[in-house]
């Protein structure tokens, strides 16, 4: 692209002539420098992962979605389900062709035919149930948010490390193919220096949604269910935060109903993150750099399209996921590969990053004035 061709594709700002020409040369160089395509994803097909035998602890709604994805697109299988109600475990087993049902969590984690445990209970119980499984010698995939708070998360991580057992937070977005495209763009400097991140997640879940979301005793609220997605996304994009500022509103029960979180990255980039359980929002995300930006439209945290957009707002390239179905299978496949390789945590979401994000969530809650019963 020539200098003047570049000029026709961008808006000319009222800069001094020398500055304007230098800027145009930079734009032309970016177009001519090979930034014409997105990198490929390194995430492998879930079906190629080793087969392991899973036990599901707390067979609720998310456990059903996760098991359906696991059985549809991986070689692994759920072989046991454990609930405080034997009838509920049996109903889940019948629905998914699971071999064994247990009427207690203790019986599930003691099952010798289970290679790993998926902890799918409410946030308020993740700490207890992850420690229960680890204490029985079982590796754990713990549904996000990892625990209620950083203190509990630290206890789980320390227990896993002391036992030499694999532990991973089930933040499924981090393991999806399109997020690896984002990760590679950041690693390769495709966007230039990152300057800004935006992400939102809003779903109409209150007051008529799941009762646990309104219950402080179950660690309800928008933060641990919804805001964790844009916060985790921005944490990946910015490499961590140096400052966090939060405002929001509370529900009648005292849990957070919505929040806006402004963060600053180590290099001075900013993030504007929002979540609410009072309305459905676009659920989009973007990362803007000095050379280009990435855009992910609605449901950014699910298997999705990534668009590379130039400074002239024209689309340069786009990535399409291999499938938009069964996205939960990717975290299970990553876990199976790690377990087969004898690893104790994932490079895609290391335990130390899980802890840092948990402390950010603690900070946001403190600023909003939300405290869960029984927290230390």
Domains, the chain, ranges and CATH?
3-32 (no CATH), 174-324+343-368 (3.30.360.10)
Measuring CA to CA, which residue among 292, 298, 289 is closest to residue 265? 289
Residue 318 contacts residue 296 (beta carbons within 8 Å): no
Lookup: tokens for 58: 């707390």
* Sign of the CA dihedral running 170, 171, 173, 176: negative
Strand runs labelled E in the chain: 53-57, 77-82, 100-102, 116-119, 140-143, 167-170, 194-202, 241-250, 256-265, 270-276, 285-289, 292-296, 306-310, 315-319
What does the mean pLDDT of the chain come to?
92
Give the active site residues: 144
Residue identified by tokens 């990255």 is 265
Instruction: Write down the pTM of the prediction.
Output: 0.90
Q: What is the mean pLDDT of residues 24-37?
A: 45
Measuring CA to CA, which residue among 291, 289, 293, 245 is closest to residue 267? 289
pLDDT of 5 higher than 60: no
Per-residue model confidence (pLDDT) at position 310: 97
Per-residue model confidence (pLDDT) at position 375: 86
CA 372, distance to chain mean position in Å, is 23
Of 330 and 36, more confident:
330
Lookup: tokens for 307: 């668009």
CA 230, distance to chain mean position in Å, is 8
Q: What is the mean pLDDT of residues 56-76?
A: 98
Tens of pLDDT, residues 100-152: 999 999 999 999 999 999 999 999 999 999 999 999 999 999 999 999 999 99
Q: What distance in Å separates the CA atoms of residue 367 and residue 361, rounded to the nearest whole number?
A: 10
Tens of pLDDT, residues 307-362: 999 999 999 999 999 999 999 999 999 999 999 999 999 999 999 999 999 999 99
């Amino acid at each position: 692209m020539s200098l003047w061709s570049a000029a026709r594709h961008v808006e000319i700002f009222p800069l001094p002539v020398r500055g304007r020409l230098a800027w145009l040369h930079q734009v032309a160089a970016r177009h001519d420098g090979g930034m014409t395509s997105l990198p490929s994803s390194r995430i492998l097909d879930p079906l190629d992962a080793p087969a392991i035998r899973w036990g599901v602890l707390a067979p609720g709604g998310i456990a059903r979605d996760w098991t359906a994805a696991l059985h549809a697109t991986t070689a692994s299988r759920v072989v046991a389900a454990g609930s405080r109600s034997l009838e509920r475990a049996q109903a889940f087993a019948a629905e998914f062709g699971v071999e064994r049902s247990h009427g207690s969590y203790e019986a599930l984690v003691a099952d010798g035919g289970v290679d790993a445990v998926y902890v799918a209970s409410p946030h308020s119980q993740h700490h207890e149930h992850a420690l229960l499984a680890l204490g029985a010698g079982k590796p754990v995939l713990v549904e996000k948010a990892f625990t209620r708070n950083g203190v509990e998360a630290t206890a789980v991580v320390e227990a896993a490390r002391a036992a030499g057992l694999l532990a991973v937070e089930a933040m499924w977005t981090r393991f999806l193919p399109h997020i690896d495209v984002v990760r590679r763009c950041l690693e390769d400097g495709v966007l230039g220096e990152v300057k800004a991140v935006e992400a939102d997640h809003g779903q109409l879940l209150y007051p008529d949604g799941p009762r646990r979301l309104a219950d402080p005793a179950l660690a309800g609220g928008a933060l641990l269910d919804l805001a964790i997605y844009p916060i985790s996304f921005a944490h990946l994009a910015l490499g961590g935060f140096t400052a966090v500022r939060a405002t929001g509103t509370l529900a009648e029960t005292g849990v957070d109903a919505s929040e806006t979180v402004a963060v600053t990255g180590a290099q001075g980039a900013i993030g504007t993150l929002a979540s609410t359980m009072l309305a459905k929002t676009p659920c989009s995300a973007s990362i803007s750099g000095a050379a280009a930006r990435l855009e992910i439209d609605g449901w950014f945290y699910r298997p999705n399209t990534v668009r590379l957009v130039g400074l002239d707002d024209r689309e340069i390239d786009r990535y399409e996921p291999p499938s938009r179905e069964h996205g939960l299978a990717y975290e299970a496949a990553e876990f199976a590969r790690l377990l087969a390789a004898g690893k104790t945590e994932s490079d895609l979401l290391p335990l130390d990053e899980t802890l840092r994000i948990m402390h950010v969530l603690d900070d946001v809650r403190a600023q909003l004035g939300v405290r869960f019963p029984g927290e230390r």
